[in-house]
């Protein structure tokens, strides 16, 4: 069913896609049943010459059923999604070995900050790139997000990752890429007239290629 969702490339994708398809099937069945019922009633109880209208008080049993079934379904979906939400967004969900990055969003660009040779983010040897995020494959990473002006939304469709960046707040979002390659980063929050062009790329490297890329960036910084 890849025609519905983009190809998945993160550890989150399987659980999120499963919930999506469960909800899609449930709502699809409900749509068919409701619309089918409407069509059936339109035909069965259509106006006919000489037929008098009938008055009915309804059915308490039917009302209980069509109220209870959606309520139970929503509760079950909520319980199923609660664990997934906690794994992704929970207070203690970020793995301790996640590589930290800084993200500063502003109209209309993403600025990514990388830790330097000292391995610490927020020190003097950090470096930044505009609209370029480089990460290693099969390694958790955590983005420490801030915003300059308005609310932006960090969205990587292939990773099933979406998190708002809010001015005045520091918000963490983490994920782990499972496939090497280049993927799109978009802003999923209307943030102004240039919102449509607030796009960036995430490049997922192998572990060795990522270390070589970091070394090249450090060498380039030393030459400046």
Q: How far apart are CA 139 and CA 159, in angstroms?
A: 13
Angle at 222 between CA 216 and CA 224, to 5 degrees: 110
Residue 94 resides in a domain: no
> What single DSSP character describes residue 187?
E
Q: For residues 107 and 193, state if they share a domain.
A: yes
Radius of gyration of the chain, Cα coordinates, nearest whole angstrom: 25
Q: For residues 83 and 104, state if they share a domain.
A: no
Res. 90 pLDDT band, cuts 50 70 90? confident
Q: For residues 214 and 131, state if they share a domain.
A: yes
Residue where a domain terminates, one of 38, 70, 89: 89
Residue 76 resides in a domain: yes
Locate 156 and state its tokens: 């990587």
Residue 72's pLDDT is 94
Q: For residues 117 and 197, state if they share a domain.
A: yes
Q: How far apart are CA 134 and CA 22, in angstroms?
A: 33
For residue 177, report the phi and psi dihedrals to the nearest 5 degrees: -75, 145
pLDDT tens, position by position, 36-54: 999 998 988 887 787 777 7
Q: For residues 171 and 119, state if they share a domain.
A: yes
Residue 25, CB half-sphere, CA atoms under 13 Å: how many? 8
Q: How far apart are CA 87 and CA 15, in angstroms?
A: 10
Residue 223's pLDDT is 59
Q: For residues 149 and 212, state if they share a domain.
A: yes
Q: For residues 25 and 106, state if they share a domain.
A: no
- To which residue do tokens 């062009």 refer? 197
Per the CB < 8 A criterion, the answer to whether 164 and 96 are in contact is no
Q: For residues 84 and 108, state if they share a domain.
A: no
Q: How far apart are CA 210 and CA 212, in angstroms?
A: 5
CATH number at residue 168: 2.60.40.420
CATH number at residue 24: 1.10.287.90
Q: Parallel, antiparallel, or unpaired for β 141-147 and 99-106?
A: parallel
Residue where a domain terminates, one of 67, 89, 111: 89
Q: Is the pLDDT of residue 31 over 90?
A: yes
Residue 155 resides in a domain: yes
Q: How far apart are CA 110 and CA 103, in angstroms?
A: 7
Range of the domain at 193: 99-223
Mean pLDDT, all residues of the chain: 90
pLDDT tens, position by position, 103-131: 999 999 999 999 988 888 888 888 899 99
């Amino acid at each position: 069913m890849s025609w519905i969702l983009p190809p998945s490339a993160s550890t989150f994708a399987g659980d999120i896609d499963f919930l999506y398809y469960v909800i899609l099937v449930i709502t699809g069945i409900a749509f068919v049943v409701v619309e089918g019922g409407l069509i059936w009633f339109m035909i069965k109880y259509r106006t006919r010459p000489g037929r008098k209208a009938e008055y009915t008080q309804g059915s308490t049993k039917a009302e209980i059923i069509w109220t209870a079934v959606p309520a139970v379904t929503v509760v079950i979906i909520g319980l199923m999604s609660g664990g997934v939400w906690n794994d992704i967004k929970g207070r203690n969900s970020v793995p301790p070995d996640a590589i930290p990055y800084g993200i500063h969003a502003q109209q209309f660009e993403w600025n990514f900050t990388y830790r330097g040779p000292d391995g610490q983010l927020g020190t003097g040897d950090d470096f930044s790139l505009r609209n370029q995020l480089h990460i290693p494959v099969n390694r958790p990473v955590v983005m420490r997000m801030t915003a300059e002006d308005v609310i932006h939304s960090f969205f990587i469709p292939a990773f099933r990752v979406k998190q708002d960046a809010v001015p005045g707040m520091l918000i963490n979002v983490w994920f782990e890429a499972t496939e090497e390659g280049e993927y799109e980063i978009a802003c999923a929050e209307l943030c102004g007239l240039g919102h449509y062009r607030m796009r960036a790329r995430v490049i997922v490297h192998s572990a060795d290629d990522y270390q070589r890329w970091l070394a090249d960036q450090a060498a380039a910084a030393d030459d400046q």
